[in-house]
Structure 1
Amino acid sequence: VCLDPCSSYTVLNEKWRSTKYKVTSETHCDSNLNGWYRFTGDGGVQMPENCVPKHSCGTDAPLWLSGSHPLVTDGIVTRTACGHWDTNCCHFSNTVEVKACPEGFFVYKFTGTTHCSLVYCAAPSIVASSCSNTCAGNEECMQVDGEWGCHCKATLTNHSDLGYLQPELSCGSQQMKVSLEKCKLETMGFSFSTIHLRNSSCTGMRDPLNRSVISLTSLLSEGHCGTTVLRNSTHVTFKNRIHLSKSGTPEKPMYIRFHCTYPLEIQVNLLSSLHPAARHLSVLIGGSGTYQVKMALFQSPSYTIPFEGSEIALSPEDHLYMELNAEGIDSRMFTLVMKNFYATPSWNTIDPIKYYIVQNSCLNNQDPTSTIELIDGSNKVRVSFLLSKFLKQYDEVYLHSEVHLCDTANKSCKSLCSGNRNRRDATSYSRVLTIGPV
């Protein structure tokens, strides 16, 4: 029988696991650990995500988590636990598995350390038995069942109006998240363990960065956690709702409905030099969310080693390889389409001097060496090309790419050559990306 590690784990609650706990004489070692574990108590509740100073956590080489903690929707992920020794923050390393549990904590699958003294650290560090500095405004530091913690103030007034909850909505590039104060929920008689989205398996969890807040998240994907999608010619809207019910009462559930709206058309210029060649671009969309796009220039057709540095030295005979990647976009809903890809002697995207590699989704027929490729299911577009004539005429060359996200629900969005037609008949989210000089 395979047990859920969120309900089958061993507790690690030693105070000396705290990143604030310095070695005095006795050092500890985790060579005997094997299985799923959860951090609790004064030492800390989760592994730190940054390098920990040597001789911390009651040991010589403290182990910290290299990489971020997962979301509940990520399931079990694999990370590296790094041990700090000498001048290397990852002198020792162990593979660990991590899972975020719906109840708001993390569990870790540890194996015994190969050397002593190495210990898996815990954070935030709370060596003292007081928590007064970590509690929210409507909480107080209290000792319950022998453990100190932040608990809702007994003086809070009962409320029945949902408006009292004041939910906060965050519209991101890959998910939407609603946050509610735990104490306000308890004041209204709601238990966070019964709160869920339209799909009852998507429950609320305590925010790892703010334990006084309960968060519910859904990916920007139709059907995920019951999310529905509405489209028109200019916008796409993702909708869901929170179900709140009171345990042990016949009262009907109450709902908080929320949505995130993203416009499908926007024009943005990135005016910067190439440093590094791979660049992440974040565009604010309608004041409500962001989409992520990555543009990179590579040295070979394997598309594995990008150019780096503020400038790139090339000869006219050098073949170039450019990749665009719409990161985190649901490829079932949107397809990345390249409209124009061109070079200019300046960073100005409307420079009258242009050399087109791709125009209106068509390759330049005067350059038989150029190719364009759409990577199925990944929202990546790759172009290989030469700039022989252009590089001979100008000292600096900047590359610009005009792309759009095409709504696949409205029409076929394959990046096929459109001749002289401007492909604006498809619903799209447009932008210009710039890279250079080269």
Structure 2
Amino acid sequence: LCRSCRDTLCSKNVCGLGMECFQFSDYTKCSDPCSNYTVVNEPWRGSTEAGLSDLHCDSNKYGWYRFEGSGGIRMPETCKPIFSCGTHAPLWLNGLHPKLNEGIVNHTACAHWAGDCCKWSKDVQIKLCPGGYHVYKFSGTPLCEMTYCTDPRGLFSFMKCKPPTNDYFLYFLFEEVADIHTKLTCGKLDMRATFQKCQFNDLNIKTIHLTNSSCFNVLEDIPTNTYVIVSPLRSNTCGTQLIKNSTHANYKSTLHIELEPDSIITRLDELNIFMSCVYKLDLIASLNTALRPIIGSVNISLGGTGQFTAYMALYKDSGYTQLYEGSQVDISVKSILYIGVFIDDGGPSHYVLVLRNCYATPTENPEHTVKYYIIKDSCANTQDSTITVKENGVSMKALFSVQMFKFVGDYDRVYLHCQMSLCDAMDSSCTPVNSASELIAEDVPLLYSA
């Protein structure tokens, strides 16, 4: 009877809010994770650059941890690109960080892979400590290579200028509207104008008024003390213009902000923010199928303002669910290769991915004189009955398969290369046809090597 009582002590929250409870055979122990943690301070955890060398894994991370250093002091709350954070599949926090009065909360960390921001997941516990930092309880990772990311933006949340209340925040006085500075971020699905809260003095997010408010979304980013105004990449809606040529897509939009929306009169200038994001839709990526047969990725600066990421994944099954793992894979010539090509995190909804030419070479040089075409002019090579094109010109992914083969001669590796296009489905038909000249009128070429 007494043992039964002891077993329920932790469930009765005997340790109190924010304390961790440990039940032993003859006693209960309470511990504050804010006083018992391990510091993690690797700068690469906050990296957004894709890299395939010096990969890391957190499979040995068990217990409470605190992030410090230039990489960031807390986990990101949004999906991170594959191959960022010094690993293959970066882990990010699928939820919001707790407040001080919430104690220890349970959350989920998601791993991004193969176009799925939550391909794998792991339970984590988080607590906000009185010092303003968070601590995290990890229990390893689902697989390797995976690491827990940090958000370098969170470093700015500790800048203190003026304490008008119990909370510290950045505070400056801008006497002229022209002094207000913004940061424009060109994403895959939207344009984002970011303002420091201090630039609007004590303006509350509820008082920000956009003359075309139904077209934009206003977000408050507490970790960075900023307001973010989001404009979706949709042409011919809410005044957003799309100007295209054979190599670029330029989205333009204008924000009109009233700084005194409830006043009868005003002497403040109207704040107009002109946003323009130019996307260069040319991508080049490489994947050594003999040394790194799982996936290849590269980020290309798109006109200096925006970027897409293309990558290829190699699967074991026709359902395109089981990825090859490891740094080197030996594949029998009797095996079928299932290959997926993706635009990471999608893109503007009216674009689809069209494979134009996919071929193999015996070296990593895509211009090698020896080429074996798997897909040519967007159609499967009819001379090879093992080739199947499952999806092409339908969405932001393409799927095809082919039986493994070996080049005749002194070659022991096979390299795949794909030329592809982003096609505007609103302006033209993107379904591949037999003739390359009839394929699409407004496609933009991409080169992808694997």
- Asked whether 1:121 is paired with 2:127, we answer yes
Q: Is the 8 A contact 1:406 1:429 kept in 2?
A: yes
- Asked whether 1:216 is paired with 2:226, we answer no
- Secondary structure of the 1:204 match is strand
- Asked whether 1:335 is paired with 2:349, we answer no
Question: Match of 1:248?
Answer: 262
Question: Match of 2:284?
Answer: 268
The code of the aligned residue for 2:249 comes to: V
Q: Is the 8 A contact 1:28 1:119 kept in 2?
A: no
Question: Match of 1:326?
Answer: 343
The Cα of 1:123 is off from its aligned counterpart by 6.2
- Asked whether 1:177 is paired with 2:192, we answer yes
Cα deviations by residue, 1:255-282 (Å, 9 ceiling, x for unpaired)? 2121212234x25243656535123332
Cα pair distance change 1:157/1:426, threshold 3 Å = closer
Question: Match of 1:230?
Answer: 242
- Secondary structure of the 1:284 match is coil
Question: Match of 1:86?
Answer: none
Unaligned runs of 5+ in 1: 1-14, 20-24, 30-48, 58-65, 72-77, 83-91, 98-117, 128-132
Q: TM-score, normalised by structure 1?
A: 0.64
Q: Is the 8 A contact 2:157 2:224 kept in 1?
A: no
Q: Is the 8 A contact 1:369 1:386 kept in 2?
A: yes
The Cα of 1:242 is off from its aligned counterpart by 2.5
Aligned equivalent of 2:161, options 137, 140, 146: 140
Q: Is the 8 A contact 1:171 1:289 kept in 2?
A: yes
CA distance in 1, matches of 2:222, 2:395: 31
Q: Is the 8 A contact 2:77 2:96 kept in 1?
A: no
Q: TM-score, normalised by structure 2?
A: 0.62
The Cα of 1:167 is off from its aligned counterpart by 1.3
Q: Output aligned runs, 1:78-97, within 5 Å.
A: 79=94, 94=106
Question: Match of 1:415?
Answer: 432
Cα pair distance change 1:201/1:191, threshold 3 Å = farther
- Secondary structure of the 1:150 match is coil
CA distance in 1, matches of 2:296, 2:285: 13
Question: Match of 1:149?
Answer: 168
CA distance in 2, matches of 1:52, 1:277: 25
Question: Match of 1:314?
Answer: 331
Cα pair distance change 1:247/1:388, threshold 3 Å = closer
CA distance in 2, matches of 1:423, 1:18: 67
The code of the aligned residue for 1:126 comes to: G
CA distance in 1, matches of 2:323, 2:65: 38
- Asked whether 1:193 is paired with 2:206, we answer yes
Cα deviations by residue, 1:364-391 (Å, 9 ceiling, x for unpaired)? 1211121112268642211111243637
Q: Is the 8 A contact 1:331 1:377 kept in 2?
A: no
The Cα of 1:293 is off from its aligned counterpart by 1.8
Aligned equivalent of 2:382, options 365, 383, 400: 365
**Identity across aligned pairs (percent)?**
24
Q: Is the 8 A contact 1:277 1:308 kept in 2?
A: yes
The Cα of 1:290 is off from its aligned counterpart by 0.5
CA distance in 1, matches of 2:417, 2:370: 12
The code of the aligned residue for 1:142 comes to: P
The Cα of 1:220 is off from its aligned counterpart by 2.6
**Residue-pair matches, total:** 336
Cα deviations by residue, 1:60-79 (Å, 9 ceiling, x for unpaired)? xxxxxx984259xxxxxx94
The Cα of 1:360 is off from its aligned counterpart by 1.1
The Cα of 1:214 is off from its aligned counterpart by 1.8
CA distance in 1, matches of 2:293, 2:383: 31
The code of the aligned residue for 1:172 comes to: G
- Secondary structure of the 1:183 match is helix
The code of the aligned residue for 2:208 comes to: I
Q: Output aligned runs, 1:380-399, within 5 Å.
A: 380-388=397-405, 390=407, 394-399=411-416
CA RMSD in angstroms, aligned pairs only: 4.3
The Cα of 1:17 is off from its aligned counterpart by 5.0
CA distance in 1, matches of 2:307, 2:423: 16
Q: Which deviates more, 319-328 or 226-235?
A: 226-235
CA distance in 2, matches of 1:363, 1:93: 52
CA distance in 1, matches of 2:418, 2:344: 16
- Secondary structure of the 1:293 match is strand
Cα deviations by residue, 1:86-118 (Å, 9 ceiling, x for unpaired)? xxxxxx995679xxxxxxxxxxxxxxxxxxxx9
